[in-house]
Structure 1
Amino acid sequence: MAFLKFITRALIGLSLVAGAAHAQQPLRLVVPFAAGGGTDQYVRLLASELAKKGTPVIVENKPGASGIVAADYVARAKPDGLTVLVSSLGTLASNTVLFEKLPYDPKKDFAPVTQIAYQPAIVVGRPDLPYRNIKEMVAHAKANPGKINRGSPGEAILTNLAPLSFEKTVGISTTHVPFNGDSPAIQGLLSGTIDIDGTSITSVLSLVQSGKLRVLGVMDGRRLPQVPDAPTFKEQGFDFEALLWYSLSAPSGTPNDAVMRLNKAVNEVIADPAFVTRARAMGMEPRGSTPQELAKFVQTEHDRWVPVLQSLNLPKQH
């Protein structure tokens, strides 16, 4: 009997040790963009704050193929709550239209965790361009069809889709040059490879403040507090809005308790006033949600942007 009690206690001890070891394993946040871009900066800020509150985090960048590389990696990961995708419109909706076949299913292969932030899409250009805002750019594009090279961090990302939709609305056309993330696109803009770029203020704030780049237009109903002199599209006569949003998605089959633990930890961080201040300083607006709210939001965004994307009749990639 004493021997059985000893064995039982030993097994319980081993179980507790195993549980503790699992708890100490780092959360892996997989970012589908190159390091240094706006999304990456925000995710690293979030990771730092999660670590301070007891959740060790590794940020892993897996750029390429409009987020497919990262999404496929997470979809195939063990559903234990330790590997999570930083997801967006591209990975969860747009890729279904842009690609002939995906190695993952956005609806079946992921479990929603929480929203983490949003920000309006913007269009930026260099100060040496012959146009200073969107209204002047449209006039220039009409007078010089096909002469403007426009960059984006990827084909399926909103900062490409929104400008494409806008161009169709106003009857102009630019030459799209996709990059693997914000950072390479911005370097292309600074080097003169492209003329304008669809991006977020997070990626270019320091360059705008230093005068190296100019915000031609903000796709929102109000100006950005970080660059109050930059006009919105609406102010320039174009009724057009587009918000970038970011969320966390776990592999399908991840236990609900693991999803809810991560949801709680993330939402506590992004609700902290000090975190909000730091996030806004880089152009992000923190926003959390329940998993159910995220699922509903993604469906709404899918229903808005997928038909727009389909109407553009872009050739499907293989």
Structure 2
Amino acid sequence: MTSPRHSISVHYARTFLAGLERRGYDCDPILQRAGLHRRLLHNAQVRITPYQLSTLVQEAWRLSDDEFVCLGSRPSRFGIFPLMARQALHGSTLRSVYRRSCHFYNLVSEAVQFRFEEDGDVARLSLTLARPELDPDHTLCEFLLLIWHRFPSWMIGRRIPLRRISFSFSRPGHAAEYRLMFPAPVEYDQACDGFEFSRELLNAPIVQTPSNLRTYMNRAPLDWFSRQAYYPIFTRRVLDQLEQSDSLATATMEEIATAMHTTTRTLRRKLTDEGTSFQDIKDGLRRDTAIHLLSQPSEPVAAIARTLGFSEPSAFTRAFKHWTGVAPSAYRKTAASE
């Protein structure tokens, strides 16, 4: 099975729109283009596809002419990031990417101040919002850190392993999303918002070209929301095996353990140490597959149930409602309405 399965908490759709609505913008057309319904926004269990969130953010950029989506003290005009990216491409190493990008935004934006430091064997990127009260759910802060990790990683053609993420705020209710966003331990109530990684990586060469950059920016922000999902090592290996399986529905722990050249007992212990289980991983994958397939209006619910290994649509409905808080038919209906 190879269909996209990664899903994202509806929290981000709700909070991206919150800044626009505080400024008086009508967001219903944005929701319609993203295939979402307003009633879904306030159900914390609902999850959406990367494509839906990407469409929502793209439409928000166009409506507000602000890449900070009205969550900063001043707008960052739509198109500033691609301009910065072209400037960063003129450098030669990861070090130049961070120096150029931080210098660029510190010149053109009063809403956020970036700081890039090298200290011993550590490289550190941090940011300060001029008016953090305009970003009460920390969405802009998280979004900027996500971009400043993923865009430089793309520039050098490999993921930058982070040592830690620090946030100035306390652990939020949506903190479970961070394992999909940031590949590092997260620390709260810190002096600043930022991340650290090995200074050695700063000499990594830029491998992208202007042609690649155009394609990358045309897809933005989709790749930022869908390309990298970070899990502990055995959780990731189980996910990889399940994604390669010809039948996710019937895949067993014994089969996956054999494919990984380990025993079922060892695999169960390793997953327990990582705070999960085989069934949790499989159910999460089935959930995300279901969300993806339900976003395709031509796929009948009964067919989706069969694909995911449910003997009856009613069993699938119960499971989906347990996973997301709404029935699959209701999820599809509300997403497609208006």
Whether TM exceeds 0.5 here: the answer is no
Q: What range describes the TM-score normalised by the shorter chain of this pair?
A: under 0.3
How high is the TM-score relative to the length of structure 2?
Answer: 0.23
What TM-score comes out, normalization by structure 1 length? Answer: 0.24
RCO comparison, higher one (Cα < 8 Å, 6+): 1
Higher helix share: 2
Larger strand share, 1 or 2 = 1
